[in-house]
Amino acid sequence: MLGAFVLGGCATTDPLETSASGARPPPVTSSAASPAGAIERSPIGSVAAGSGSGDASVDAAGGAAPNDRGTSVAGGAAFGGSAVGGRSLKVALLLPLGGFDQTAVIAKGMKQAAELALFDADRSDIQLIVKDDKGTPDGARIATEEAIKDGAEVILGPLFGRAAPGAAAAARASNVPVLSFSNDRTVAGNGVYILGFSPEQDADRVIAYAARNNKQRFAAMVPDDAYGTIIGAAFKSAVAKAGGTVVAFETYPAGANAMIGPSRRIVEAARSAEAAGAPIDAVFLPGGQDVLPQLGPLLTYSGFDAGKVKLIGSGAWEFSTLGSNDAFIGGWYPGPDPAGWRAFQAKFSKSFGQAPPRVASIAYDAMQLAIALSANAPGQRFTVANLTRSGGFSGVDGTMRLTADGIAERGLAILEVQKIGSHVVERPPATVGGSADATLAGNLDETLSGARLSGTPPRVN
């Protein structure tokens, strides 16, 4: 990709909200602090805020050892690299590290991923300053103020959208950019960049692909929550842009019994449309691992015919057991090309003795982005022009370009669900914002094993 930085040594491919399990960024739970639909669910599920403090150091071999001696990881002390031009850089990492819940586990994995990126770069002139933001606006504000006093030139984090305004308020006063791991658009802009996977981009990508493959008449079933509000609006917009028609649209509350009625209505809409000679071509079902195993059997029981109507979904479909329900086999969903994640997962597991949470790749890529821009002079590294360079950046999760309004535009592949795992049917676009090569992936097809995912994909808020 012309003008792009390569982030790390992993193969380039293309987290959302961060999930409790850490899988590729999935649907999102709403944040009470964010009005119109802040997203707090990871590609794995949902992440709750934690509190307390904790840290780990990285040894020379790249392993992680828990310790209570501080919150800084210096590239030189750990890795023995050499300074570049004598210009040191301090990077702050804000995460909800306290406690022992799933959020803290994911946060630890993201911290280890950032440390791994620093190890891979072998840079003694870069120091990673780790702060516990407690998952709250006040915690993030205090952590940011402390990090800037310590000399940080860029803030990586917070994980949650609800904490981002606290970090932003403190960072703007010093003209320090914030690269949040959230995908909550309501916090983006004015110095805040969200790196999480966007529900809007998910919908655009899969609907555009479906339309190019002769799917023009659509129905949808979306969750009756903040994520559903966002992804439902994105679905309707994407269908309009593709020149298609929304024939039926249903929402469903959580709980298997509450899903029965919407499932039956979608199936009835499909039958009626077929009888009228204008059949529904595809049903958009953007749930994740928490709901799809319930919805699939309900659709089948209601008479859904996957041989006539294609099921399509969001990045939250990225979990290895989805194909255990026949209704989803052959379904399409957007996501990063899996090659980069597989390489990163192997490297992380070798270094730390355990698999990474799926969202850890966002922290790795964010750290590598900071390292890539460190070659510039202090004060000129993280300017708007450098952060939003047209060539973008390429990392574990593929091509990413930051926009002036703080959104991460990502190049996504299209994957097709198989009995076990999924495979790539359309490569990511060569450049973000361009159109993908419409040919089948051929030898680029990647079977996604259960080892690749730990839960549903992560979307971070």
Q: Do 151 and 94 fall within a single domain?
A: yes
CATH number at residue 258: 3.40.50.2300
The residue with greater pLDDT, 84 or 334, is 334
Average pLDDT over residues 202-219: 98
Is residue 32 in a domain? yes
pLDDT digits (tens, 9 = 90+) for 319-369: 889 999 999 999 999 999 989 999 999 999 999 999 999 999 999 999 999
- Is omega for the bond preceding 158 within 30 degrees of 0, making it cis? yes
> 218 and 266: one domain?
yes
Same domain, 292 and 234: yes
Same domain, 92 and 180: yes
Q: What are the Cα distances from residue 370, in Å, to 91, 143, 279, 330, 359?
A: 8, 19, 50, 39, 18
Report if residue 2 sits inside a domain.
Answer: no
Q: Does one domain contain both 15 and 117? A: yes
Does 44 reside within a domain? yes
Are 266 and 154 contained in the same domain?
no
Percent of the chain with pLDDT over 90: 69
Residue 267 counted as domain residue: yes
CA distances from 317 to 267, 302, 313, 460 (A): 21, 21, 6, 15
Domain that holds residue 18: 7-196+339-409
Residue 38 covered by a domain: yes
Exposed, middle or buried: residue 81 (CB in 10 Å: 0-12, 13-18, 19+)? middle
Residue 305: inside a domain, yes or no? yes
pLDDT given at position 112: 98
Same domain, 83 and 220: no
| Residue 446, in any domain of the structure | yes
Q: Are 214 and 438 spatial neighbours (Cβ–Cβ below 8 Å)?
A: no
Tens of pLDDT, residues 277-313: 999 999 999 988 989 999 999 999 999 999 999 999 9
Tell me the per-residue pLDDT of 141-181, one tens digit each, with 9 for 90 and over.
Answer: 999 999 999 999 999 999 999 999 999 999 999 999 999 99
Least confident of 73-87, 113-127, 196-210: 73-87
Q: How far is CA 442 from CA 319, 425, 426, 447, in A?
A: 22, 8, 9, 12
Q: Indicate whether 190 and 205 sit together in one domain.
A: no
The verdict on 238 and 324 lying in the same domain is: yes
Same domain, 204 and 301: yes
Say if residue 270's pLDDT is above 70: yes
CB-CB contact of 457 with 14 (8 Å): no
Q: What pTM, to 2 d.p., does this model score?
A: 0.78
- Our count of domains for the chain comes to 2
371-389 average pLDDT score: 94
Look at residue 351 in the predicted model and tell me its pLDDT. Answer: 97
Give yes or no: residues 86 and 217 share one domain. no
Q: Is 458 within the bounds of a domain?
A: no
The closest of 182, 185, 123 to 155, measured between CA atoms, is 182
User: Do 130 and 214 belong together in one domain?
Assistant: no
